[in-house]
Structure 1
Amino acid sequence: MDQDFDELLKQSDDYVPYVPIDQRRREQAERLHKIGRSVPRTDASDSESDKDDASSGPGSPRAVRSTVPLFDQALELRLKQGQDGRELSAVDKDLEEEAEILKTVARRKQLASDRELAKGIQYTEPMTTTWRPPAFIRDQPPTVADAVRQKYHILVDGEDIPPPIKHFRDMKFPQAILNYLRNKGIQRPSPIQIQGLPVALSGRDMIGIAFTGSGKTLAFSLPLIMLALEEERRLPFIRNEGPVGLIVCPSRELAKQTCEGLKEMSEHLRQAGYPELRTVLASGGVNLREQLNILAHGVHMVVATPGRLQAMLADGNFNLDLCRYFCLDEADRMVDTGFEEVLRNVVSYFNHQRQTVLFSATMPQKIQDFARTALVKPVVVNVGRAGATSLDIVQEVEYVKKENRIVYLLECLQKTPPPVLIFAESQHDVDDIQEYLLLKGVEAVATHGGKAQEEREYAVNSFRNYKKDVLVATDVASKGLDFTGIQHVINFDMPKEIEDYVHRIGRTGRSGKTGVATTFINMSSSEEVLLDLKHVLIEAKQRVPPFLESIYDPNERYRDLPPGVPSATGCSYCGGLGHRIIACPKLAQERRIQDSGMRSRMVDGGGDRY
């Protein structure tokens, strides 16, 4: 009976014999290979006939199409979209997951004022200035500019990029500024200044990336000086006017250093017969009455830390009505969690377009992408990889047990003559190290966020003026501070993020000089950061100790990806080379902070839960 039924079934028009799925896949792959790995397309008439036959029987195109297995339909769809048709590998799945993570952490907030966001105001054209490159440079063919950039390893990205200029005198600076540079021992611009100064002088928004000690401060300070001088000569500032430019720094020490540089240049100009340019330092620990006194006479430039700046703007001590120049030093830290909301509040006080420049040694891709959404046709000037260390620094990594580190410090101090800078993660360790060194007869001072401002200034100034041999500090001294002649930096512990390591060791090997950086690591160091350190050493052609070589690197499978593939190397969130965004410790930490903040709001019943 069953045999007769099978025979009848075979004779029917609807009969389709069963074919195992493996065989169907092989046949489909062979069929697609024979037709050149392309998918047959129907023309318009076929599409119309498909519509007409939609209600027809099993022989209609629509009915035949419905019998194609879903696997084969997905395979054809991949081919239509230009993919190779293979099943997703583990690497492919990871890359897709990373892309989803990047979407979820995309910054929705911009460096735009509330009024601009509310009214949908978008600036489409960059600002312009009266500065122009010399005629002989403007008349040069683009190949000359490309040759200069290639010689100094300058990478640029953007539209209508101003040409690089190799000499300060060709940038049309006053003789007083050239004399100031000569007195400082600066004979010619560094690579970041060769390209960064023409871009900033032209009024363009810019993202400047270069290793520590490469002269980034001068690259954003000189354009501000020239802008303030031009505005003062055009129409002198009167009481309660200004500023024309604003520089925001992440720490008090860095803000003070930047402010002193502006004041020195202003004094050289004044002595040469130019108008007086006034600069005010708006940071914590500084006498507010002195700041207000300068502001009352009209101020041209303000250098500030975020907290004090926000408070002074809210109190109406000054306004940004005339401000045309906005600079973020160590911009990756400024835009990062903790300062982003403060910066948005500060930017809300702008009521017109301004030139925005961002500078840092470590600028992860997510920060660059965020900055591009806020800037107007920005020019990216990159000297070396963002987050790379200077090749002038000899990096030594040593395994030292936690309990032996403070004793081993004395031996490390014998490597080079003073001055020496020691970094530690916690304030408690800084105090312990200073006390131990003082007991051993070493002239040491210390600074960290828990000390009074007078103590911090005394420590930094006495160390800078060679009155003390050793400065022990937390990361408050690692961002941008310039100490002349430091030959040795010691990391008492490995920081939690590779960016902090880059900034720490960047206090030596500056301005073309060589230096040594010694780092203690032990079992308390996280594996992700140690892998980042390993790849930083490899990139800088430094010796990698065996205990770092022996760490299993799960990212080796990504090394063969083509360079054009997004996130082909390292973490696309923080820029670390030894881990992926899936295992990014910085992202995990930020999520924990956000989660704890959300939980506290839910418990307190205040604000929106989402």
Structure 2
Amino acid sequence: MDPAVNRRRIERPPSPTYNLDDNDDSYEPYIPVAQRRQEKLAKFSSLGVTAEREKAKRLQEEQEEREDALKEEERLREKARKERTLLLEAQEVQRHKAVEDAKKSEGEKAEEADQEILEAIKSRRKLVSDLELAKGIQYTDPLKTSWIPPRYVRERTLEEHQKLRDKYHILVEGDDVPPPIEHFEDMKIPEPILQHLRSKRIINPTPIQLQGLPAVFSGRDIIGIAFTGSGKTLAFCLPLIMLALEEEKKLPFVRGEGPVGVILCPSRELANQTYENVNTWCSALAQDPNYPQLNSLLCIGGISMNEQSHILGKGIHIVIATPGRLIDMLEKKRFTFNNCKYLCMDEADRMIDLGFEDDVRNIISFFKRQRQTLLFSATMPRKIQDFARESLIKPVLVNVGRAGAANLDVLQVVEYVKQEAKMVYLLECLQKTPPPVIIFSENKNEVDDIQEYLLLKGVEAVAIHGSKTQEERQYAIKAFKSGTKDVMVASGVASKGLDFNEVQHVIIFTMPKEIEDYVHQIGRTGRSGKTGIATTFVNMNTPEQTLLDLKYLLMEAGQKVPPFLASIDDPRAAQGGSLRGCPVCGGLGHGISNCPKLEDAQRRQMASHRNDDGGGGY
């Protein structure tokens, strides 16, 4: 093959033509790779932000649509409410209530109403001092004492303790209740006091003393309930005397020291009587050279405290007082409660009721340490018991019989006597028994009228009521107790706690509205195991509710119920309601909704508010 034929000429493509003219717009400058990447990223980012914005805008629009729908719905509801009147709503409520009430009996309705009233008046602060309240101090354990029962008593079983309580009809409530002790000697009481008790023919403790004394000796707070004349005074005075004796023996008291305990009483007469008892027992103790003299102070209105300056000049062991004068002495710093650790309230239901509650709180504010608190009374309604339990520290409740029950040693006679015939019939009643006799009336003017009538008829009579001076009141009681006067005409001031051992007959000229007062008044006879008679005048002026309370009280005590009283029907029985009695006053014939004691308390409260607002004028 010819090499010339096979060889071809390889032609190169033409060279590109470059336009170097600066005015040519088609020229694209060179962009570095890194810059191109950044621009690409920025483009993608802008696209993402735009999408997010669109999504947020869409969500906001949806939220606004929902809010608009809710506003429209609320507007429609508001429009419906405006169209629906209050009268229609009230009618619907009434219809609903009527349907519910139709399912309940009258008794259930009455019980519900009573419970509402009880809850409304229950909201009361505990009996604590201002210091304890401010610092939030709460005591959980009772006071410790050095007293312990004898070994043989400690070794008895709980069943044996309960058997002894059942023997004396003692009811107890509380945790770890101290054992009952049947003999004074086993209570470790000093021999001089035991000898004095024997000389007064007090050999064995009464039921309230049998259980109450060991509880108080053990340092426990106590609520003691027992019928009138059952020896409650000894049950709270004797432990205080022994406490004072122990403190005096440790380190003798000097001027400005004491007291170690205080006993509060609702009336001057009761405070004076308690003071005399304490002085008698302390004097009996001091007869033995092994025991020191204990100083007690009587602190009541109507007497000059300068007469007792010789006591104030020494150390004071025991104070017996009425609230008003005690507050005055404490505010003047005549003595202090810095070391006081024993507080007893006699007739406690009256002391912590509306009349004295503020004063009691004021007195408690002067205490600087934990104290042992004792509440004693013959009548203590459920409301007061519940309130006391909240205020005391692990209290022991000792109850001999129902709270507010009448003394079974008193024969109760109820007679229907017209108002105009009362005075004449009174003379006939006085012939039933020999003197002394007590006549009670709720009206001060009536007390004076009765005394004047008796004096005109030749009967030696004295009168006592709240408007008399302290000298007149003391003279009346002293003359009556000594036998100089045969009859004492009294208002309610002499019905609480006063001890007249020889009185065989009590005449209630005007039946008190509150059954509690009646129980206290008839309790001036039949004391210390003796028997007595109580004659009560009733007529058309006596409220039917009071008569119903009286009827149930007679039935409970197994007394004769006169026909005119037996014929009174209880409206609660017809309604099918409970007959438990009133928790405010303890009356068995009514509920709390028509309690005369509550009505009277509310009336006093309203009067005091009017006076505070300046309604009384000058």
Of residues 352, 357, 376 in structure 2, which corresponds to 1:340? 357
What residue in structure 2 maps to residue 434 of structure 1?
A: 451
Question: Following the alignment from structure 2 to structure 1, what is the Cα–Cα distance between the partners of residues 249 and 256?
Answer: 17
SS of the counterpart of 1:357? strand
Of residues 158, 169, 189 in structure 2, which corresponds to 1:173? 189
What residue in structure 2 maps to residue 313 of structure 1?
A: 330
SS of the counterpart of 1:395? strand
SS of the counterpart of 1:555? helix
Of residues 83, 94, 106 in structure 2, which corresponds to 1:90? 106
What residue in structure 1 maps to residue 559 of structure 2?
A: 542
Question: Following the alignment from structure 1 to structure 2, what is the Cα–Cα distance between the partners of residues 240 and 596?
Answer: 41
SS of the counterpart of 1:226? helix
- How far is the alpha carbon of 1:498 from its aligned partner? 0.4
What residue in structure 1 maps to residue 439 of structure 2?
A: 422
Of residues 568, 591, 602 in structure 2, which corresponds to 1:591? 602
For residues 351-500 of structure 1, the aligned pairs below 5 Å read 351-500=368-517
CA contact (8 A) 2:411 2:532 kept: yes
Output one character per residue of 1:483-518: Cα deviation in whole Å (capped at 9) or x when no partner: 121100000100121000000000001111110000
1:216 counterpart = 2:223: no
Of residues 242, 259, 279 in structure 1, which corresponds to 2:258? 242
- How far is the alpha carbon of 1:560 from its aligned partner? 7.6
Question: Following the alignment from structure 2 to structure 1, what is the Cα–Cα distance between the partners of residues 596 and 585?
Answer: 9
What residue in structure 1 maps to residue 130 of structure 2?
A: 114
CA contact (8 A) 1:559 1:569 kept: no
1:104 counterpart = 2:120: yes
Unmatched tracts of structure 1, length 5 or more: 1-84, 562-567
Unmatched tracts of structure 2, length 5 or more: 1-100
- How far is the alpha carbon of 1:605 from its aligned partner? 12
Output one character per residue of 1:523-558: Cα deviation in whole Å (capped at 9) or x when no partner: 111121111111000001111111111223112257
- How far is the alpha carbon of 1:604 from its aligned partner? 5.4
Question: Following the alignment from structure 2 to structure 1, what is the Cα–Cα distance between the partners of residues 205 and 123?
Answer: 35
What residue in structure 2 maps to residue 519 of structure 1?
A: 536
CA contact (8 A) 2:108 2:577 kept: no
Higher mean displacement: 402-411 or 327-336: 402-411
What residue in structure 2 maps to residue 154 of structure 1?
A: 170
Output the TM-score relative to the length of structure 2. Answer: 0.82
What residue in structure 2 maps to residue 233 of structure 1?
A: 249
SS of the counterpart of 1:428? helix
Question: Following the alignment from structure 1 to structure 2, what is the Cα–Cα distance between the partners of residues 512 and 395?
Answer: 16
Question: Following the alignment from structure 2 to structure 1, what is the Cα–Cα distance between the partners of residues 392 and 576?
Answer: 33
Question: Following the alignment from structure 1 to structure 2, what is the Cα–Cα distance between the partners of residues 222 and 416?
Answer: 34
Question: Following the alignment from structure 1 to structure 2, what is the Cα–Cα distance between the partners of residues 600 and 452?
Answer: 26
CA contact (8 A) 2:110 2:577 kept: no
- How far is the alpha carbon of 1:296 from its aligned partner? 2.4
- How far is the alpha carbon of 1:110 from its aligned partner? 2.1
Question: Following the alignment from structure 1 to structure 2, what is the Cα–Cα distance between the partners of residues 296 and 491?
Answer: 45
Of residues 285, 289, 293 in structure 2, which corresponds to 1:276? 293
In structure 2, give the amino acid aligned to 1:197: L
Identity within the alignment, %: 61
Output the TM-score relative to the length of structure 1. Answer: 0.83
What residue in structure 2 maps to residue 41 of structure 1?
A: none
SS of the counterpart of 2:570? coil
How many residues are aligned here? 517
Question: Following the alignment from structure 1 to structure 2, what is the Cα–Cα distance between the partners of residues 256 and 604?
Answer: 37
Higher mean displacement: 440-449 or 597-606: 597-606
CA distance 1:135–1:496, change in 2 (3 Å):
same
Question: Following the alignment from structure 1 to structure 2, what is the Cα–Cα distance between the partners of residues 417 and 451?
Answer: 27
In structure 2, give the amino acid aligned to 1:192: I
CA contact (8 A) 1:487 1:515 kept: yes
For residues 545-584 of structure 1, the aligned pairs below 5 Å read 545-557=562-574, 569-584=580-595
In structure 2, give the amino acid aligned to 1:480: G
In structure 2, give the amino acid aligned to 1:578: G
Output one character per residue of 1:229-284: Cα deviation in whole Å (capped at 9) or x when no partner: 00000111010110001000011111011011111111111111211100010001
Q: CA RMSD in A?
A: 1.7
Of residues 198, 202, 218 in structure 1, which corresponds to 2:218? 202
What residue in structure 1 maps to residue 526 of structure 2?
A: 509
Higher mean displacement: 142-151 or 119-128: 119-128
CA distance 1:122–1:187, change in 2 (3 Å):
same
CA contact (8 A) 2:501 2:528 kept: no
In structure 1, give the amino acid aligned to 2:178: P
1:349 counterpart = 2:366: yes
In structure 1, give the amino acid aligned to 2:346: D
What residue in structure 2 maps to residue 30 of structure 1?
A: none
CA distance 1:600–1:446, change in 2 (3 Å):
closer
Question: Following the alignment from structure 1 to structure 2, what is the Cα–Cα distance between the partners of residues 473 and 533?
Answer: 21
- How far is the alpha carbon of 1:574 from its aligned partner? 1.3
What residue in structure 1 maps to residue 150 of structure 2?
A: 134
What residue in structure 1 maps to residue 59 of structure 2?
A: none
Output one character per residue of 1:6-48: Cα deviation in whole Å (capped at 9) or x when no partner: xxxxxxxxxxxxxxxxxxxxxxxxxxxxxxxxxxxxxxxxxxx
In structure 2, give the amino acid aligned to 1:204: R
CA contact (8 A) 1:248 1:255 kept: yes
- How far is the alpha carbon of 1:360 from its aligned partner? 0.2
Output one character per residue of 1:78-121: Cα deviation in whole Å (capped at 9) or x when no partner: xxxxxxx9932222222222111111001422211112122221
Question: Following the alignment from structure 1 to structure 2, what is the Cα–Cα distance between the partners of residues 260 and 314?
Answer: 26
Of residues 319, 327, 330 in structure 1, which corresponds to 2:347? 330
Output one character per residue of 1:215-238: Cα deviation in whole Å (capped at 9) or x when no partner: 000000100010000000011101
CA distance 1:447–1:600, change in 2 (3 Å):
closer
